[in-house]
A = this chain, B = another copy of it.
Amino acid sequence: MGVCTAAVLTSYKQALELREFPIPEPGPGEALVRVEMAGICGTDVHLADGELSIPLPVILGHETVGRIEKLGPSLERDWRGGALSTGDRVAWASSVVCGECYYCRQKRQPTRCLSRKAYGISYCANEQPHLRGGYAEFILLRAGTAIFRIPDAIPTAAVVGAGCALTTVMHGLERATVTLGDVVVIQGSGPVGLAALVVSLQSGASKVIVIGAPQSRLDFAKEFGAHGVISVEKATTPEARRKLLFDQIGPYGADVVVECVGRPSAVPEGWELVRDGGKYLVLGQYANAGEVLMNPHTITRKQLQVIGSWGFEPRHVDAALRLLENPHWQSRFASEVTDRFSLRQANDALEKARLGNGGKTVITP
């Protein structure tokens, strides 16, 4: 079927290389998808820097929207049971799980599946069928991938703008629920922080405060509906931030604090922002950024619930797309997509994302 260009990470801390791969014929249950937009996730920067070990060379890109180019035999329906046809615009869960292991079956923790693999992260581009990442003209989806036909009303930029941040938050805030009337604090104003803001508001939080930087991201947060923001550039110590926060929410702390930062030091700081008996969701520590001094006495004394959440399941993509049926959130998330690059500019795109000072960077091959 010809060849497909892809931007490949061949060595850590090196520029991505453009390579060509044969376009494969989809087998049973598989789908060949023409990429329309591929988001650059903060995780991609970590991956390019070698902070997680991945099987190089890898075609990066795990938050992608495309159109069905060709469906393999027997693939007729999307995850929701709707008909799937050539030309349909689709998104998909970035991981495929086995459904059979200890975690999938016995403990119902499929995000911890013992043989889980993620597009754009866990597949070596040297191995057949090569096209397993979003920074490419085409991607070949494995049988068993949870594919979602995107309703026409939802813009592509809204889906990529929400990205894996929204699905990750859907999972995290399912585990550490925000309840009607809760006061919520979000540590971090990146895409995960903004998504946590949206889901908290939508779940009935009475007040949501976002702590982050730079100012441009805090402006986004206000635009998205934050009741208050605190700049870590202006309030440069945990004590200063805590004081500013308690001025806004009272002296006991928040019912729920969501960590969306990724730096270990955010966690002990965050514990001091939760009211006793409250919840602390550790959502941002996807990469292993090392140890930090913490006092476990705090967990006992404040009788905290400290909850972790890893990745997401197909139903969280379903939930994210449902939330995006709301035109208000569509336009907010679409507004996050501020920088578009071609596949040939993939390195520029990655560099822009590394700066982290604007909205979302995407590749439109």
Contact = CB atoms under 8 A, between A and B. Distances in A.
A196 interface: no
A296 B285 contact: yes
A284 interface: yes
Contact of A310 (B252, B255, B301): B301
Nearest to A79: B105
A103 B177 CA distance: 20
Nearest to A280: B306
Nearest to A325: B206
A170 B204 CA distance: 13
Given A105-B314, A107-B277, A295 B288 contact: yes
Interface stretch (A54-62, A129-137, A315-323, A340-348): A315-323
A276 B255 CA distance: 25
Contact of A306 (B180, B284, B306, B310): B306
Nearest to A267: B296
A109 to B, nearest CB: 4
A154 interface: no
Given A282-B299, A289-B297, A307 B308 contact: no
A330 interface: no
What bracket does the count of chain A residues touching chain B fall in?
35 or more
Contacts of A267: 296, 299
A304 interface: yes
A112 interface: yes
Q: Which of A112, A277, A285, A298 has the most CB of B within 10 A?
A: A277
A339 interface: no
A199 interface: yes
Contact of A300 (B108, B291, B301, B308): B308
Interface in A212-253: 252
Interface in A186-208: 199, 202-204, 206
